[in-house]
Amino acid sequence: MKKHVTLLLAVVMVLAMMLSACGTQPAEPSPSPAETAAPAETEAEQTPEATEEVAQTNYPERPIQNVIPFGAGGGTDVWNRALMDAMSGVLGQTIVSSNMTGGSAGSIGVDYAWKSQHDGYTLCGTSETPLTIPVQTGLEQTSKDWEYFIAAGSPGVLCVNKSSKYKTLDEVIAALKEEAGSVSIAGTSGGLWFALAKLFDAYGGLSFNWIAYDGSGPAIKGAVSNEADCVVASAGEVKEFVKSGDLIPLAVMNTEDWEFPGFGSVEAVTKKVPELEQYLPLSQFLGFKVPADTDPAIIEKLQGIFHQAMESDAIKTFADEQLCVIYNLSGEEAKAMASSIESKLCWVLYDMGQTKFSPEDFGIPQP
C-alpha cells in the first residue's frame, strides 16, 4: 500500500512540474540603463526646436571676443565698448573688446572675424566703412554674408584745426581752386569719410590731399596735431575737440544746416558745393555683426540681448553724449539698411575711380 502511495505522489509532482514549465517562458536579461533611455538624437536628426533649446540654454558658456577693426577713440571703438559693456551685464558673461587695425576699410580685423569659428564667440565691431571692403580689397563677403546689429549714427562734419589759416569753408574752397591738393584732409581709408572727401574732387572740382588713418580716432588726432589741415568724421567723434576749441566745424556733410550742441549752427556743405546734393545724405551707422550662417538660435539670443542693452539708460545717455541718433536695428531691418548704404558707397566710389574692383563683381546692385 505504501508503495502505491509513494508512486502516486511521484506522478503528481512530475505532472505539476510539467504544467509549470508549460505556463512560463524563460526570463530575458534586464536591459542596461543606456538601452532603457531614449536614444540621443544625432546632430543630423535634431529638430530645429531641439537645436534652439540647446543654443538658448548653453550659449554663451565662455567669454566672447569682440574684434574692433579700427583704432581706439573712434566711433566704432567707443560705441562697441559701451555696447559690449551693457550687453555683458545682461548676458552674464564677459565680452572682451580688442582693436585689430590695418588693411583698407578695416579689412584685417573683419577678415579675422570671418575666418574665426562662426559660433557666436567672435563678434565684429562695425560701421558703414567695412561695406566697401569688397571693392577695395577683393575679399568676397558683402552685406548678405553678415548679420547686423546697428546701434546708432552721427552726422559727418568737416573740421579744421583751431590754428588753421582757413577759418571758413569758403577759404578752403578758394585755396583748392587756386592750387589742387593744397589743403590736406585726414580720415579713415576706404569708407564713408573717404567717400565724402572724394565727392569734393569728383563732383565739386575740389581736390584735397587725402591722408589716410586706421580709424577716425587717429585721423582726428592727426588734425589736432596739425598733421592735416582738415578732418572729416562724425560729430560724436569730434565733439570733445570742438568743446575744447581744438577743432572748428566748417560744414556738416548733409543737405541741411545742423545745430552742433555747445557750438551752434553748422552750415550744410551743399550750400557751398551744390554739386554734392544728389549724393547726400550718406549715413553713418555703428554697431557690430556676426556671420550670417551662425546658428539662428545664437543670433536670436544676441538680438534679444542687443535690444535689451539698447533700451538701457546707460546706452541712451551715451547716445546723447555722442550726438547720435539711435537706430536699434537687427534682423531684416538692419540688413536692409546695410545693403542700401553698401550700394550707395560702393557705386559712388567706383564711379569716382576710387576702387580696385567693380561692385558688379560681387553682386552689389546699383542704388
Q: What is the CATH number of the domain that holds 249?
A: 3.40.190.10
The answer to whether residue 182 sits within a structural domain is yes
The total of other beta-carbon atoms located within 10 Å of residue 86's CB is 23
- Is 295 found in the same domain as 146? yes
**For the whole model, what pTM was predicted?**
0.78
pLDDT range class, residue 198, cuts 50, 70, 90: confident
Bridge-based pairing of strands 156-161 and 247-252 is: antiparallel
- Is 178 found in the same domain as 140? no
The answer to whether residue 14 sits within a structural domain is no
Based on the structure, what is the number of domains in the chain?
A: 2
Q: Residues 144-158, buried b or exposed e (16+ Cβ, 10 A)?
A: eebbbbbbbbbbbbb
The answer to whether residue 27 sits within a structural domain is no
The range of the structural domain enclosing residue 268 comes to 156-279
What is the per-residue pLDDT for 11? 36
The answer to whether residue 289 sits within a structural domain is yes
- Is 249 found in the same domain as 174? yes
The answer to whether residue 269 sits within a structural domain is yes
Q: Which of 249, 279, 309 is the last residue of a domain?
A: 279
The answer to whether residue 33 sits within a structural domain is no
- Is 226 found in the same domain as 170? yes
- Is 259 found in the same domain as 196? yes
Average pLDDT over residues 169-189: 94
**310 or 1: which leads in pLDDT:** 310
Q: Residues 215-237, buried b or exposed e (16+ Cβ, 10 A)?
A: bbbbbbbbbbeebbbbbbbbbbb
- Is 167 found in the same domain as 271? yes
The answer to whether residue 119 sits within a structural domain is yes
Average pLDDT over residues 93-119: 97
- Residue range 156-165, pLDDT digits in tens: 999 999 999 9
- Is 295 found in the same domain as 148? yes
Q: Which of 279, 294, 323 is the last residue of a domain?
A: 279
What is the per-residue pLDDT for 10? 41
- Cell for 249? 566745424
The answer to whether residue 122 sits within a structural domain is yes
What is the per-residue pLDDT for 192? 87
Total residue length of the chain: 367
> How many whole angstroms from its chain centre is CA 328?
12
- DSSP single-letter state for residue 59: S
- Is 160 found in the same domain as 149? no
Q: Which of 279, 306, 324 is the last residue of a domain?
A: 279
- Is 108 found in the same domain as 142? yes
What is the per-residue pLDDT for 278? 85
The total of other beta-carbon atoms located within 10 Å of residue 243's CB is 13
- Is 267 found in the same domain as 213? yes
Bridge-based pairing of strands 286-291 and 146-153 is: antiparallel
- Is 271 found in the same domain as 176? yes
* pLDDT at residue 21 tops 70: no
Q: Indicate which CATH number applies to the domain containing 106.
A: 3.40.190.150
- Is 198 found in the same domain as 168? yes
Average pLDDT over residues 302-311: 98
In whole angstroms, give the CA distance from residue 54 to residue 117: 18
Residue whose C-alpha cell is 558745393: 273
Strand arrangement of the beta sheet that strand 230-234 belongs to:
209-213, 184-188, 230-234, 156-161, 247-252
